[in-house]
Amino acid sequence: MKRLIIGVMFLFSCALLYITCAPAAIGNTTPPKNINTNFIFPGGTNISIILLHHSTGGCVWAGGVPEWFTAYNSSNQVNYAITERAYPKSSPYGWENYPYDYWNIWVNHAGYSQYLDEDTLELLTPNYDVIVFKHCFPVSGLGSDPGNADIASDTKTIENYKLQYNALKTKMHEFSSNRFIIWTGAALLEANTTPEQATNAFNFFEWVKNIWDEPGDNIFVWDFYTLETGGGIYLVLSNAENASDDHPNTNFCKSVAPYFGQRVVNVIIGNGDTSSITGQ
């Protein structure tokens, strides 16, 4: 009888312990609201970032990006280390960084070996927590050919771009501990494009922002296109190098470099889906 009483008391104690402690345990293991547990960022104060770009990206970089991060790190006691790389290089791959080219290197030739001296995502992701990539302004010379969509085509059409972007999204989702930031494409001056191409570019980047980009995953957008165009469909002349050169000028680049830095930081600290996609 004594053993029976002791046993009952033990079971009662266990049940009481469970009732008392279980809610706290459950509360401690519940993920924060609006966080997709399939994509867990490393976090911490030491974050490595790379910007993959060509000339337009180089202009913004020179507008003060490294200096902005140096100041931010000092003020916030963190080490967000950012570097840049011309990607792809002019040789041997060629000076092409359009949707087809990222698809070709990262998806079509995925793996742990370089493709034409260019790193695949399998090689980039172990070294960089955040990967930022962009296209040069010819990306906005965009046509449309609904009857001939081909993911393996380098022809600049909305239909091809969408196929390539969707494949890239699937690929980037494989790297759940990394975060990716894609610039909306650089714009063209009205003198260097057509109304049809400019409208196509506007519509494609609206699709990227509002449909392709999904909340809760590891992919984010920096809306460079809107900064360049002021919400229109052409590169604003006052933002251009000159009346015939589609590169952004020094003053514009100095003005948007802090927006780029803020956008990257917002993504790092977990506000990528709730903060301004222009970084303003």
Domains annotated for the chain, with CATH where assigned, are 46-268 (3.40.50.1110)
Instruction: Give the range among 1-5, 92-96, 216-220 with minimum mean pLDDT.
Output: 1-5
Q: What percent of the chain has pLDDT over 70?
A: 86
pLDDT in tens, 62-118: 999 999 999 999 999 999 999 999 999 999 999 999 999 999 999 999 999 999 999
Confidence bin at 39 (pLDDT 50/70/90): confident
Eight-state DSSP code of residue 118? B
pLDDT in tens, 219-267: 999 999 999 999 999 999 999 999 998 999 999 999 999 999 999 999 9
Backbone angles phi, psi at 83, to 5 degrees: -135, 170
Residue 245's CB: how many other CB atoms inside 10 A?
Answer: 13
The token pair at 150 is: 């081909």
Residue type, 198: A
Neighbouring-strand partners of residue 183: 222
Give CA–CA dist 66/82, Å, rounded.
7
Give CA–CA dist 203/224, Å, rounded.
15
Gyration radius of the chain over CA positions: 24
Full-model pTM: 0.85
Q: Which strands make up the sheet holding 130-133, listed edge to edge? A: 79-86, 46-53, 130-133, 179-183, 219-222
Give CA–CA dist 12/6, Å, rounded.
10
Give CA–CA dist 204/183, Å, rounded.
13
pLDDT in tens, 167-193: 999 999 999 999 999 999 999 999 999
- Is residue 49 within 8 A of residue 128, CB to CB? The reply is yes
